[in-house]
Amino acid sequence: MKGNDFPIHNLPYGVFRQKAQHGSRLATALGEDVIDVTGLALDGNFSELGINAEDILKTATYWNDFAALGREIHSAYRKTLTTLLAGEDAAWRQYAYPTSDVDLQLPICIGDYTDFWCSETHALNGGTLNRGTAKLPAAWYRLPGGYMGRASSIGVNQNVHRPIGQYQLPGNEPELGPCQKFDFELEFAWVIGKGNQLGKSIPLEESEEHLFGAMLMNDWSARDFALYEVQAVSMDALQPFKIDLPPQEPPPARHLAGNKSRSSYNVGLEAHIGSETSSKAICLVETNLSHIYWSPSQMIAHFTVSGANFRPGDIFGTGTVSGPQELSWACLMERSWGGTREWAGPDGRNRKWLEDGDTVSIVGYCEANGVRIGFGECFGRVLPSL
């Protein structure tokens, strides 16, 4: 991978706080700098968006209220911001800060988090390891399965203590102790923009209008933690990289069938593993978002089919984004085949699971026609259990 993640073609949604100061402000990223969007709004640069959108940009400390305004306003904001930053008037530079001088915050206040199960390869591998069969239930191909997670555990790049829980070694009694098989899962997450009323579903053909942005995601295998990158890439920035997913056979349930349902995005995804005893990390996973079986539109349509409501800033994940080749298997459960195979760590030692002091760095990028945008780095370090 080459080039900066944040050219003018990207302009993600972020939130920052100047170090040693209180108060969070809306932001975007350009090159190596964080741009103070709140400051730009207070300077009158977004008046043409209307008083509602302008007031939100002036006063909000999260992007939720702006996300609720819908895709038309999001696109108009992006057009105005692009024109401003690309123009000859450099007055905006007074609102630019080096990334090293600020603390990045969660860009949205997350109400609910749903994790789906969208990779057929991951589901097949998991079935073989956990149930002894690679055959998936017929229902898996009819609709996307998901579960609700704990939004309170979602954070920006941070260290994570090895979880403590109950486990049972062969021939022994159950015991409480540090997790013995700590893992990561390379995932992708979508952020909801405009929500829906409780009791009203979102039709498949309207689902994309309810997306606000996308993030990298590392779902630690203990399932008690979820770690996200701190920039949300906008849907407009992703449009040049939109692709059609292969037809589904057997056909999905009726509310999930349709030509518009099979779109996703060509996002290259990598997971790099580092250790305390090596200065260099290794690239353990190379996969692509195109490997998912269920599209974001289908996930939205199925989640709301009975009238369940999304709210602005809610997040839903793809589940582990594994592809058909071993290099694209996106978690250690698959790469170590349930702990029966070893892989060479960054320090040259063979291992099966994450060790204390290891780091996991997930990166993602889109590239086409000479334009490259990225998602930054989703980073976490494994600390000993408390």
Residue 76: Cβ-neighbour burial (10 angstroms; 0-12, 13-18, 19+):
middle
Q: Per the structure block, which two tokens stand in for 385?
A: 């259990």
Q: What one-character DSSP code corresponds to residue 71?
A: H
Question: Known catalytic residue: 291?
Answer: no
Q: How far, CA to CA in Å, does 35 sit from each of 51, 140, 261, 333, 356?
A: 22, 44, 35, 40, 36
Q: Are the beta carbons of 57 and 41 closer than 8 angstroms?
A: yes
Chain centroid offset of residue 309 CA:
20
- What are 343's strand-pairing partners? 351
H helical segments located in the chain: 37-42, 51-59, 64-67, 71-86, 120-131, 235-238, 296-303, 332-335
Query: Which string of DSSP letters, residue by residue, matches 263-331?
Result: EEE--EEEEEEE-TT-SS-EEEEEEEGGGBSS-HHHHHHHHTTTS----TT-EEE------SSGGG--B
Q: What one-character DSSP code corresponds to residue 80?
A: H
Q: Are the beta carbons of 196 and 202 closer than 8 angstroms?
A: yes
Which of these is catalytic: 22, 74, 122, 291? 122
Alpha carbon dihedral 169, 174, 180, 181, in 10-degree steps, equals 80
What is the C-alpha radius of gyration for the chain, rounded to an integer number of angstroms? 21
Catalytic residue list: 122
